[in-house]
């Protein structure tokens, strides 16, 4: 039996009623998330996430699938939202991918065949006798686990909707590659490649019935959130330069030249 950990996890095992689990403090991050440049984003998160992060579509290894990701940094292994004390910045939206940790859902591979069912798993290093009990003496789930379990299962279902949206956009030929290039006031130029965005010209050229379909199933609203979010690459530059996030958010688009670093399309 082979269990593959999700992106950013190390070693996971199936969760049992006997496990006691060390739960991180609110917004406190395990080391692995402090150096991660992007995180998968689920369907219902677009509205909240677009205020703080650039949202880009990253192509899968098969060359046909795409994953919606919240971009957290401008360089490899860089998360610009981690504070000095190892917490996630309290002034921004905390992605559900992080909030569900150390739990996750994953598929199991048996004899080389991936099983259709997903099972609840936990990061192995989070299992500890001093950890939280997730079930009482009668085997009933505790309130702590009920809340975590709801987040876990809701998020998993929401990821499926996000994947379906990405497939729809790809099937309509709306995704195009783009690169982010920036010249900070200090240091070498920055460049990020391998990302995809919705091509606005192609979107405008869709047949009315296709646009209506995207509107009715909620995808069009998320497309707009994604497009608006791309301006947040400028905020990532601010964070990298050490500008306080609150001040960066207060800068109007017309005043972008006053930022300590400028962005080039």
Q: What is the pLDDT of residues 149-168, one digit of tens each?
A: 999 999 999 999 999 999 99
Per-residue confidence band for 184, with pLDDT thresholds at 50, 70 and 90? confident
pLDDT tens string 87-107: 999 999 999 999 999 999 987
pLDDT of 218 over the 60 cut:
yes
pLDDT tens string 47-70: 999 999 999 999 876 667 899 999
Name the pTM for this structure.
Answer: 0.84
Q: Smallest Cα–Cα separation from 226: which of 1, 17, 66?
A: 66
Q: How many whole angstroms separate alpha carbon 78 and alpha carbon 35?
A: 5
pLDDT tens string 17-52: 999 999 988 788 777 788 899 999 999 999 999 999
Average pLDDT, the chain: 85
Beta bridge partner(s), residue 181:
191, 264
pLDDT tens string 97-139: 999 999 999 877 776 776 677 889 999 999 999 999 999 999 9
**Size of the chain, expressed as the number of residues it contains:** 265
Q: Quickly tell me which residue has 């798993």 as its tokens.
A: 121
Q: Quickly tell me which residue has 């971009």 as its tokens.
A: 71
Per-residue confidence band for 81, with pLDDT thresholds at 50, 70 and 90? very high
pLDDT of residue 26: 78
pLDDT of 83 over the 50 cut:
yes
pLDDT tens string 232-244: 999 999 898 875 4
pLDDT of residue 85: 87
- In terms of C-beta distances under 8 Å and separation of at least 24 residues, what long-range contacts does 3-6 make, across chains too? 3/106, 3/108, 3/109, 3/121, 4/106, 4/107, 4/109, 5/104, 5/106, 5/121, 5/123, 6/104, 6/106
Q: Smallest Cα–Cα separation from 162: which of 238, 55, 3?
A: 55
What residues contact residue 52 under an 8 Å CB cut-off, 6+ apart?
Answer: 81, 92, 93, 232, 235
């Amino acid at each position: 039996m082979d269990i593959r950990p999700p992106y950013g996890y190390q070693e996971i095992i199936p969760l049992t009623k006997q496990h006691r689990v060390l739960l991180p403090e609110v917004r406190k991050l395990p080391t692995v998330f402090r150096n991660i440049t992007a995180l998968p984003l689920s369907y219902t998160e677009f509205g909240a996430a677009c205020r703080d992060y650039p949202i880009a579509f990253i192509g899968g290894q098969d060359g046909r699938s795409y994953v919606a990701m919240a971009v957290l940094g401008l360089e490899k292994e860089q998360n610009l939202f981690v504070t000095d004390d190892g917490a996630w910045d309290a002034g921004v939206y905390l992605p559900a991918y992080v909030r569900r940790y150390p739990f996750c859902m994953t598929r199991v591979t048996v004899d080389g065949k991936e099983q259709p069912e997903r099972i609840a798993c936990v990061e192995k290093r989070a299992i500890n006798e001093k950890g939280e009990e997730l079930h009482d003496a009668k085997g009933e789930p505790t309130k702590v686990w009920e809340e975590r379990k709801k987040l876990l299962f809701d998020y998993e279902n929401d990821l499926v909707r996000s994947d379906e949206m990405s497939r729809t956009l790809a099937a309509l030929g709306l995704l195009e590659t783009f690169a982010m290039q920036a010249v900070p006031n200090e240091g070498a130029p920055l460049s990020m490649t391998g990302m995809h965005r919705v091509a606005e010209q192609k979107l405008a050229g869709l047949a009315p019935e296709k646009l209506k379909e995207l509107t009715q199933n909620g995808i069009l609203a998320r497309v707009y959130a994604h497009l608006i979010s791309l301006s947040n690459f400028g905020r990532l530059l601010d964070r990298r330069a050490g500008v306080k996030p609150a001040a960066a958010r207060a800068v109007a688009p017309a005043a972008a030249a006053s930022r300590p670093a400028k962005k080039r399309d």
